[in-house]
Amino acid sequence: MKRSEINRYINEAKDFFAKHQFHLPVWVDWSPAEWATKGEECEEIRRNQLGWDVTDFATGKFEEIGLTLVTIRNGNVKYDKKTYCEKIMFVRENQVTPTHFHWKKMEDIIHRGGGTFCVRLWKADENEQPTDAPCSVQIDGVTTVIPAGEVLRLYPGQSISFEPYMYHEFWSEGGHSMIGEVSTVNDDENDNRFLQSPGRYPSIEEDEPAQYLLCNEYCK
């Protein structure tokens, strides 16, 4: 991805969140120069990878396969006692987050506003392959059984909860969607099992200065 694209996609996400009256922490607006002045008081943000995450999952096709999000709070099993994570995601219309599961993380996905949020699910077997077994999930606390690979559509205010080893992919229809996530600790370096995606983070062409740091760039 080009840095100019990342800058633009972050600004578009900020506008979308503001339109839906979702307010972000002040540090999402800090420039790289401002980050350079911050000391140990901001170590939790850096260490736990809070902040902006713009990725094409190393596909080079961001508008087809990608995601823009902010990790607002997160724990770290090595360094603190916080056992939870919260994210807010800007899911673009027809932009797919590719099929993956988590070995450890359990999560609730909450539709906060916008279009129709679409999720497709499969249970993984002992070899980490998708199966044809029905998927049991909680939709707003109601146990719901969904056939493997069937598209589940959620509308603003609805949520879905699923456990580890549940393959999921998602996108938005009928406009962009603002999607929240509440989960156990998020560890993108060790707890993502993608079915086919070549990577978690993009390679970046520095065609203009960065307006913001991404969550994996604090220590670079």
Q: What is the mean pLDDT of residues 94-118?
A: 97
Confidence of residue 94 (pLDDT cuts 50, 70, 90): very high
Q: What angle do CA 216, 91, 60 make, to 5 degrees?
A: 60
Per-residue DSSP letter, 150: P
In the prediction, which pLDDT does 201 show?
86
| Homologous superfamily of the 3-194 domain (CATH) | Jelly Rolls (2.60.120.10)
In the prediction, which pLDDT does 220 show?
62
Chain segment 68-83, per-residue pLDDT in tens: 999 999 999 888 889 9
In the prediction, which pLDDT does 77 show?
85
Quick check: 212 pLDDT over 70?
yes
Quick check: 50 pLDDT over 80?
yes
β-sheet bridge partners, residue 121: 168
Amino acid identity of residue 124, one-letter, is A
Is pTM beyond 0.75 here? Answer: yes
Q: What is the mean pLDDT of residues 158-179?
A: 97
Percent of the chain with pLDDT over 70: 99
Confidence of residue 4 (pLDDT cuts 50, 70, 90): very high
In the prediction, which pLDDT does 34 show?
97
- For residue 74 the two structure tokens come to 């997160």
Give CA–CA dist 92/171, Å, rounded: 7
